[in-house]
A and B are shown apart, each in its own frame.
Chain A
Amino acid sequence: MKARVIITPKKAVLDPQGKTVQEAMAHMGYEGIGAVHVGKYIEVELAPGMDGAVAEARLHDACRKFLSNPVIEDYRLEILA
């Protein structure tokens, strides 16, 4: 059992990395590329048999306090079977 946390910069926050990647892709000739946002992917392994709801609650808590910074980032949490 594991969980995935996907962290992205908030829309209002300057994302120079995303912008640079977007420009590089355009420069390489890829057409139709819009805004690119570079974030983080965190995979968390969970104890076998852990209750899904408990895992979700714990990880939301960790995401808000530690894994993401709500001032600058949004996160999405997925619990996988």
Chain B
Amino acid sequence: MRFAILQFPASNCDQDCVHAARVLGHAARLVWHKDTSLGDADAVIVPGGFSYGDYLRCGAIARFSPVMQAVRAFAEEGGLVLGICNGFQILCESGLLPGALIRNRDLQFHCEQVYLRTANPNTPFTRCIPRDGLMRIPIAHGEGCYFADEATLGRLQAKGQVLWQYVDARGEATERANPNGSLLNIAGIANETFNVAGLMPHPDRASESVLGSTDGRYIFESMVATLEERRRAAA
């Protein structure tokens, strides 16, 4: 599969995402924020970092980049788009995902391993995640507190758009297990059509055993399995 990894000024996980995709045996190409085309990409990853210095609001300026217009068109045609950390913030700012990410509840930057429970295992981003286990994936953010109004939260839950929640080692979504104050312990969500997803934790930083966890692979593998299935269906 061919992954397009976006690159904004002050992206800093772009190379991590390229590396993760290649480690998994796929092609990955960086796409500069001023580019207006995603080329022949099968899927898009909006990586972590501090695009445009996080000025104004995280992701607020990046969303107006030329490449984001191409991402919007790609998503509208059903293309798979995954936003990680700052990428999640950019997708929320752009309206491709509902809600917003605000300052962590305790005002601290959190850089730590968290446990994630997969709330909906039947999506293009979660289908390869083992049903009975938790994922251990690192976070590194200061503004990862997920917020949406009650009506939006209700819709997210009713439609299964909450993909991942912060939990403790026993799988309970407790207050203590919530690193940033996210409503409903939300770590990641999908859009209504389940082809755009975002999460604050970094699967790219959990894709090789030398990094301490390979659980992040399940998310990329889920995307690849979905693309392969689509390809078979089209053949």
Query: In the docked arrangement, what's the CA distance between A72 and B92, Å?
Result: 12
Query: In the docked arrangement, what's the CA distance between A72 and B99, Å?
Result: 8
List chain B residues, Cβ under 8 A from A71.
92, 99-100, 147-149
Decide: B60 and A69 in contact? CB cutoff 8 A: yes
Contact with B along A2-17 (1 / 0, CB 8 A): 0000000100111011
Query: In the docked arrangement, what's the CA distance between A63 and B102, Å?
Result: 18
In the complex, which residue of chain A has the Cβ closest to the Cβ of B148? A71
**B57 interface neighbour in A12, A16, A20, A69, Cβ under 8 Å:** A69
Query: How many residues in A have their beta carbons less than 8 Å from beta carbons of B?
Result: 12
List chain A residues, Cβ under 8 A from B77.
none
In the complex, which residue of chain A has the Cβ closest to the Cβ of B61? A66
Query: In the docked arrangement, what's the CA distance between A71 and B99, Å?
Result: 6
With A71-B99, A71-B100, A72-B102 in contact, do A66 and B147 touch (Cβ < 8 Å)? no
Q: Does A25 contact B (CB under 8 A)?
A: no
Q: Does A36 contact B (CB under 8 A)?
A: no
Query: In the docked arrangement, what's the CA distance between A20 and B107, Å?
Result: 9
List chain A residues, Cβ under 8 A from B107.
16-17, 20
Q: Does A77 contact B (CB under 8 A)?
A: no
List chain A residues, Cβ under 8 A from B60.
66, 69
Contact with A along B75-112 (1 / 0, CB 8 A): 00000000000000000110000011011111100000
Q: Does B163 contact A (CB under 8 A)?
A: no
List chain B residues, Cβ under 8 A from A14.
102, 105, 145, 147, 181
Decide: A69 and B93 in contact? CB cutoff 8 A: yes
Decide: B106 and A16 in contact? CB cutoff 8 A: yes
Query: In the docked arrangement, what's the CA distance between A67 and B57, Å?
Result: 9
Query: In the docked arrangement, what's the CA distance between A48 and B92, Å?
Result: 36
Decide: A12 and B149 in contact? CB cutoff 8 A: yes
List chain B residues, Cβ under 8 A from A12.
149
Query: In the docked arrangement, what's the CA distance between A59 and B93, Å?
Result: 19
Query: In the docked arrangement, what's the CA distance between A38 and B202, Å?
Result: 30
- B65 CB to closest chain A CB (Å) equals 13
List chain B residues, Cβ under 8 A from A72.
100, 102, 147
List chain A residues, Cβ under 8 A from B106.
16
Interface CB pairs A-B, < 8 A, 30? A9-B102, A12-B149, A13-B102, A13-B147, A14-B105, A14-B145, A14-B147, A14-B181, A16-B103, A16-B104, A16-B106, A16-B107, A16-B181, A17-B103, A17-B107, A20-B107, A66-B56, A66-B60, A66-B64, A67-B56, A69-B60, A69-B100, A71-B92, A71-B99, A71-B100, A71-B147, A71-B148, A71-B149, A72-B100, A72-B102
Please give the residue numbers on chain B whose beta carbons come within 8 Å of chain A beta carbons, in ascending order: 56-57, 60, 64, 92-93, 99-100, 102-107, 145, 147-149, 181
Known: A14-B181, A72-B100, A72-B147. 4 other contacts (CB 8 A): A14-B105, A16-B105, A17-B103, A69-B100
